[in-house]
Amino acid sequence: MQLGLDVRLLVWTLITFGGLVAILAKFAFKPLQRLLEEREKSIRDSLADAQRVRDEAEGIRREGQAHLQESKEAARKLIEESRRVVADLQAEGRKQARVEADATIQRARAEIEQEVRKSVDELRGTVASLSIKVARDVIKENLDPARHEALVDEYMQQLKTEHGKPTA
Amino acid sequence: MGEIETSVIIPIPKIAGIDLSITNDVVLVWMAGLLTLLVLLPVCRRQSPIARGFYQNLMEGLIEFVEREVVAEGLGSAGRIWAPFLLTMFFFILCANLLGLVPVPSVFHAVTANINVTAALALIVFILTVSLKIRRQGVLGLLRGFMPQGVPWWMAFLVVPIEVLSWLARPLSLAVRLFANMMAGHALIFVFIGMAMGSAWLLKALPLVGAIVMDVFELFVAFVQAFIFTMLAGIYIKDAIEEEAH
C-alpha cells in the first residue's frame, strides 16, 4: 500500500538521502562551486580587462586628439607668424623701395640741375661769343634792314644747330 | 489499478525494534540516489571552467536555475551553505520522479508516489528547521514563537494550538503535495493503460494516446514538483535563518 506506514522505506530513505547529501556536498557541489567561482572570476577579470583596454584606448584617443589640437594650434601660429613676417617684409620692401626711389629722384634732380646749370653756362658763353661776333660783324658792314634780319636768322639757326633745343 | 505490491528482497533482522529489510521500494530509492550521483558527478567534477556540450549546459542550467531561484533569491548570501542540501533534494526528487516514466511498470514506478518516501524527505526538512531554531533560540525561544507578540495572554489557549498546527502542517503539506501529485499522475497513466488493454482493438488508440500525453505531462510534473518541494524547503530554512537574526 502506498499510503501505509513502511518504516523500512522511511528509514532507508532518510539514510540514502543523508548519504547522498554528504557525498554530493563533498565530491560534486564543492568542486562545482569552485568551478563556478573560477568562471565568475574569469568573466569578471575579462570584463575588467576589457574595461581597462577600453579606458586605455580612450586615453590614447584623447591623447591623439590633444596632439592633433596642439599640432593644429602650432600650424595656425606658424601660418600667422609667416603672414606677419611676409607683411613685415613687404612693408620693409616698400619702405626700402620708397627710400631708394626718393634717393634716385634726388640724384636725378641734382644731375638735371647740374646739367641745366652747365647748359646755361655753356649757352651764356656761346651767346656772349655770338654777341661779340655779331657786334663785330655789324661794325664791319653797314647793313640794310633786310640784310640785318637775315643775319639774325642765320645766327639763330646756327645757334640751334650747335646746341640743340634749349633745356626746360 | 496496477499498483506494485511492496515485496522484501533481502530480509534483515530487526535492529532496535526497527525492521530494515530491503524491499523493492528501497531498491528504487537507491536507484534514484545512484541516478542522482551518475547525473551530477560527471557534470560537477570536470576540470574546464567552460561548459561544453548539450548535456553539460543543460545540467549547469538546471543547477544554476535552482541556485538562483531557491538559494540566491530565497535564502540570500547567508543561505549559500544550504545550496548542496537543496540541490541534492531537487535532483534526488527529480530522479525519483523520472524513474516512474521508465516504461517497465513491473519494475519501475515513481517512488515519490509512496508517502513514506515523501514523509522521510519532509521529516528531514522539518528536523533541520527545528534544529536550526533550537540552536539559535533555545527550546524556550522555539516555544515562545508559538505565542506571537502583542496577543493577550488569555488568547493563548486559542492561538497556541493554531500556531502549533500550522507549524506541523508544513512537513505534512510538503509530504502530501509531492505524494499526491505523483500518485495522481501515476494512477491516471495506469487508468489509461487499463482502458487501452480492456478496449476493443479499434478503440485501443484513444487511451494509448491519453497515456502518452499523460507521460509527457508527467515529465513536466516531475520537474515542477521537484522544484516546488525544494523551493518550499528553502522557504522554511529561510524562516529559520531569519528568525535566527531576530
Q: How many percent of chain B have pLDDT more than 90? A: 22
Q: Residue B108: pLDDT above 90?
A: no
Q: Is residue A149 part of a domain?
A: yes
The answer on pLDDT for B34 being more than 80 is: yes
Contacts of A5 in chain B (CB under 8 A): 116
Which residues, in sequence order, are bridge partners of residue B8?
A: B23
Q: Nearest by CB to B84, from A5, A19, A24: name it.
A: A24
Which residue range(s) make up the domain with B13?
8-245
Range of the domain at A124: 7-163
pLDDT at position B94: 94
Which residues have C-beta within 8 Å of that of residue B224, sequence separation ≥ 6? Answer: none
A81 lies in some domain: yes
Instruction: Kindly state whether residue A61 falls inside one of the protein's structural domains.
Output: yes
- Partners of A39 on chain B (C-beta within 8 Å) are 49-50
pLDDT digits (tens, 9 = 90+) for A131-162: 888 777 777 666 577 877 887 788 788 877 87
Q: Is B1 among the domain residues?
A: no
For residue A17, list chain B residues with Cβ-Cβ distance below 8 A. 33, 88-89, 92, 120-121, 124
What confidence score (pLDDT) does residue A167 get? 47
Domain-embedded: residue B183: yes
Residue A19 lies inside a defined structural domain of this protein: yes
- % of chain B surpassing 70 pLDDT: 92
Q: What is the model's pLDDT at position B47?
A: 67
Q: Which whole number is the average pLDDT over B45-70? A: 80
Nearest to B31 by CA among A27, A1, A12, A30: A12
Q: State what percent of residues in chain A have pLDDT above 90.
A: 49
Domain presence at residue B67: yes
Is the model's pLDDT at B33 over the cut of 90? yes
- Looking at residues B31-42, what average pLDDT do you find? 90
Total domains in the fold of chain A: 1
pLDDT one-digit tens code per residue, A95-125: 999 999 999 999 999 999 999 999 888 888 8
ipTM (interface predicted TM): 0.82
Count: domains in chain B: 1
Q: A6, exposed or middle or buried, with CB in 10 Å at 0-12, 13-18, 19+?
A: buried
Closest chain A residue to the Cα of B84, Cα to Cα:
A25
Grid cell 565568475 is found at A40
Distance CA B158, CA A32 (A): 49
d(CA A3, CA B187): 14
Secondary structure of residue A25 in the 3-state scheme: helix
Minimum mean pLDDT range among A88-92, A156-160, B5-9: B5-9
Tell me the C-alpha distance between B17 and A153, whole Å. 182
